[in-house]
Amino acid sequence: MDKETPSLSMIAKVVEKRGLAVIDLTQMPLYNEPIVLPYVIIALNNRGWIRSEFDFEPDLFKEHDFTLLNPNHVMIPLETSEDYHATLVIMSRRFYGILAEMYPDNYKYIHYFLTTFHLNDQQYEGMKSCLQTLRKINMLDHPDREKLLTAQINIMAHMTEIYCTENGYAPEEKSGVELLMLRFHSAIAENFRTHRDVKFYADQLCLSPKYFGTIVRQTMGYSAGELIARYVMVQAKHLLRHHRKMNIQQVSDKLGFSDQTAFTRYFKSHSGQTPQEFREGK
């Protein structure tokens, strides 16, 4: 697993079983397809680059970049260089919760926005060594494995803080608006199957729909309704394309629509195609 490019199903199986996986990627498992993973991901780009979209915004992850990807965001890998190679640490929410309990000052909450910064050569070697140690610990079959892993990840967090300071990058406490977006995104991930109306999410955040909509558009560049629809469509397209044993009715049920007709109407209004046409690649 740690030596080959795994499929998304392989990643999910290992992470759910072990709580954490350390893998190497030389290419992404999918291209031009949205990926939504419910995991915290720490990534170090060893060489080359990958061009992608993160929450529908363009992103370029370059050699010796270090990044934190948070759960339930939408990533669309588009292209990698021929020499692309990255090391990823993927942890479940349960494992992240253990970190938060053991080191509350460092893990107060999962940030909403993508956090990436570049390492110089010396910093890169330090982080690479840290990840190699994490990989070795993760392979242990020992009752103290999780305790050792959390201690090593906390060391990595301190190293990251030092490197940020050395590079003149000082992450600030998230603003009220940024935390609001975090809560909105988490609410969509938890409720999109049963609630797709803006008013529900505004009520969850104790804001009027009009004021809530204004904040979202000013912050994200999209309306709240567009963000909700984009998230639903990512989930729908993923099921249609990669779970072909499920018929359209089953996909509709999985996404919480009242019936197949309602799902088809929703899907076509946001894509211009019916679910069946999309599945057949028309």
Segment 132-167, tens digit of pLDDT: 999 999 999 999 999 999 999 889 888 888 888 888
Helices and strands, counts by H and E, the chain = 11, 9
> Which comes out higher in pLDDT, residue 156 or 266?
266
Residue pair 84/65 in contact (Cβ under 8 Å)? The answer is: no
Burial of 138 (0-12, 13-18, 19+ CB in 10 A): buried
In a 3-state reduction of DSSP, which class is residue 69?
strand
Other C-beta atoms lying within 10 Å of the C-beta of residue 52: 19
User: What CATH code is assigned to 176-280?
Assistant: 1.10.10.60
Most confident of 33-42, 55-64, 227-236, 270-279: 270-279
250 pLDDT above the threshold of 90: yes
pLDDT at 13: 82
Q: What angle do CA 65, 67, 69 make, to 5 degrees?
A: 150
**Packing angle of the helix pair 121-138, 145-166 (nearest 10 deg):** 170
φ, ψ of residue 188 in degrees (nearest 5): -60, -50
Of 22 and 190, the structure prediction assigns the larger pLDDT to: 22
Residue 28: pLDDT band (50, 70, 90) is: low
Q: Which of 271, 263, 195 is nearest to 230 (CA)?
A: 271
User: Identical fold at 8-166 and 176-280?
Assistant: no
Q: Quick one: 172 exposed, middle or buried, by C-beta within 10 A (0-12, 13-18, 19+)?
A: exposed
Distance CA 51, CA 24 (A): 17
pLDDT per position as a tens digit, 45-66: 999 999 988 776 788 999 999 9
What are 81-136's pLDDT values in tens digits?
A: 999 999 999 988 888 878 777 776 655 444 444 578 899 999 999 999 999 999 99
Determine the topology of domain 8-166 in CATH.
Jelly Rolls (2.60.120)
Residue 112 confidence (pLDDT) = 44
Say how far apart CA 20 and CA 112 lie, in whole Å.
21
Q: How much is the pLDDT for 86? A: 95
Give the pLDDT band (50/70/90) at residue 69. confident
pLDDT attached to residue 20: 92
Higher pLDDT, 254 or 97: 254
Q: Residue 158 and residue 155: Cα distance in Å, rounded?
A: 5
Contact by Cβ (8 Å): 220, 114: no
* Residue 2 confidence class, pLDDT cut points 50, 70, 90: very low
Q: What is the pLDDT of residue 51?
A: 92
pLDDT at 164: 82
Structural domain spans, the chain: 8-166, 176-280
pTM, entire model: 0.70
Each residue's pLDDT tens digit, 219-234: 878 899 998 998 898 8
Comparing CA positions, the residue from 32, 37, 34, 45 lying closest to residue 78 is 32
Region 3-26: what's the mean pLDDT?
80
Cβ neighbours of residue 89 closer than 8 Å, sequence gap 6 or more: 20, 21, 22, 41, 42, 43, 131, 134, 153
